Structure 1
């Protein structure tokens, strides 16, 4: 029986430009999310990212989350997530990769929001030596209406 190596990473951040208040309806709101997975041979990798914005009369609330995992039967697997937040911007990036000799799978998701726009992009790729790589890109972007 083979032991499969599995690695995972997740991160979540919330940034609020106002103090805690009772629930209000958003004047403008939006969410984006992308994700993807790739596999080849005994390797697989996946990643996902999501972001949300709610604009009220009292301010703007932002949220972001990202995560991923990778697995390999006989090779190496890694997954890492990094989240940055400052003022009114949030960014997250997840990279996941599995390698077994020349065969590999990888997935990367970048997600961001600045309170006015939200964007998430996921790119995946898998490759077996001697064959053409399989690639995929998923992109989603939303621009909120001006207040």
Structure 2
């Protein structure tokens, strides 16, 4: 029997100076994202994150989303997503982990929009006792051109 833990995607919108951009051309725009999965034995974990921003002469509009899921045949599975915003940045982080005795799989994605910089990174790892751990790293950065 699989135990599934899933968190639906979370998205926020941040409008600079209280303005909403509607069908307006962006002076500069960018998107970024990363994701990954890990599996070992009867465990698996996956996370994903994405963000976008649009800079106009009247302000900035940004969005961010992140999600994760984990499954284990006979053990424990957890997944958690947090999104934080303040006037200068949006940040999202998803973590997922599945364990079955000594075997485990985990994934973590961090995504951020701050000013003209968009970043997303994912780290995954899986391990079976007595074997070498499998690891993966994915980093993406987009820097928007100056206005």
Q: Given the two structures, how large is their TM-score scaled by the length of structure 2?
A: 0.96
Which runs of structure 1 show a deviation greater than 3 angstroms over 4 or more consecutive aligned residues? none
> What is the aligned-residue RMSD (CA, Å)?
0.9
Task: Identify the residue that residue 46 of structure 1 maps to in structure 2.
Answer: 46
> What is the alpha-carbon distance in structure 2 between the residues aligned to residue 16 and residue 75 of structure 1?
43
Task: Identify the residue that residue 14 of structure 2 maps to in structure 1.
Answer: 15
Task: Identify the residue that residue 35 of structure 2 maps to in structure 1.
Answer: 35
**Cα displacement (A) at 1:88:** 2.8
> What is the alpha-carbon distance in structure 2 between the residues aligned to residue 43 and residue 55 of structure 1?
42
Contact 1:62 1:115 in 2 (8 A): no
1:25-44 Cα shifts (integer Å, max 9, x gaps): 10000000100000000000
The count of aligned residue pairs is 145
Task: Identify the residue that residue 92 of structure 1 maps to in structure 2.
Answer: 92
1:82-105 Cα shifts (integer Å, max 9, x gaps): 000010310000000000000000
Contact 1:74 1:100 in 2 (8 A): yes
SS of alignment partner, residue 98 of structure 1: strand
SS of alignment partner, residue 20 of structure 1: coil
Task: Identify the residue that residue 5 of structure 1 maps to in structure 2.
Answer: 3
SS of alignment partner, residue 81 of structure 2: strand
> What is the alpha-carbon distance in structure 2 between the residues aligned to residue 22 and residue 143 of structure 1?
23
Contact 2:21 2:61 in 1 (8 A): no
Contact 1:28 1:145 in 2 (8 A): yes
C-alpha distance 52-22 of structure 1, shift in aligned 2 (>3 A): closer
Q: How does 1:126-145 map to 2 (within 5 A)?
A: 126-145=126-145
1:20-79 Cα shifts (integer Å, max 9, x gaps): 353111000000010000000000000000010100111100110000100000000000
Contact 1:38 1:126 in 2 (8 A): yes
C-alpha distance 116-21 of structure 1, shift in aligned 2 (>3 A): closer
